[in-house]
Structure 1
């Protein structure tokens, strides 16, 4: 198997992991954690909160897979910068959307 295909498969496995996490968050009864070592705040509507987290994670997983497409162009391609910078921007946007939209909407006041 060619090295660029193996790299794309590994990159896509990360995106697939987020999509699996999104499906898991749809069916869990407790509020889904977003931050690694932080407790979840008190949620007003757990089902709607988990649905919002699921949409966020699935969109992020799809974006990761799409950003991995430049890996198929070869080892010395400048397009790989699109993948690296795009992943950083997507990760920052993920945190901003969670903090400014989801957390504000579902935090019990």
Structure 2
């Protein structure tokens, strides 16, 4: 197995873990945490909040995996910058959606 393929498999495994976290959040009975080491704000609709947060994580994981496809072209390829910059942008958008949309809608 080539190094490029192994790199993509690891990248996709991380994306799959993020997707699984989203699925776990959707079915959670308690309000899902988004930020690490931060106390969760009071949520007015736990089921809706968990669904929104879970879908956000699932979409993030799917896009994360798609952004890893340039790894298949080889790890020394300049195309890898698309993956790195794409994930940076994706993460910023994820945080913005969470703060602007989800927090505003479900804060109790």
**TM-score of the two chains, using structure 1 as the length reference:** 0.97
RMSD: 0.6
What is the Cα deviation at residue 99 of structure 1?
0.3
Match of 1:94 in 2: 94
Q: 2:30, 2:87 → 1: CA distance?
A: 29
Please name the residue that 1:36 is paired with: 36
Quote the Cα distance in structure 1 between the aligned partners of 2:61 and 2:75.
Answer: 23
**In 2, Cα distance between the equivalents of 1:105 and 1:75?**
42
Q: What are the within-5 Å matches in structure 2 for residues 22-61 of structure 1?
A: 22-61=22-61
Residue 14 of structure 1 deviates from its aligned partner by 1.1
**Structure-1 separation of matches of 2:17 and 2:6:** 17
Instruction: In structure 2, list runs of 5 or more residues that go unmatched.
Output: none
Q: How many residues align?
A: 108
Q: Any runs of at least 4 consecutive aligned residues in structure 1 with deviations exceeding 2 A, and if so which?
A: none
State the partner residue of 1:107.
107
How far, CA to CA, are the matches of 1:75 and 1:105 in structure 2? 42
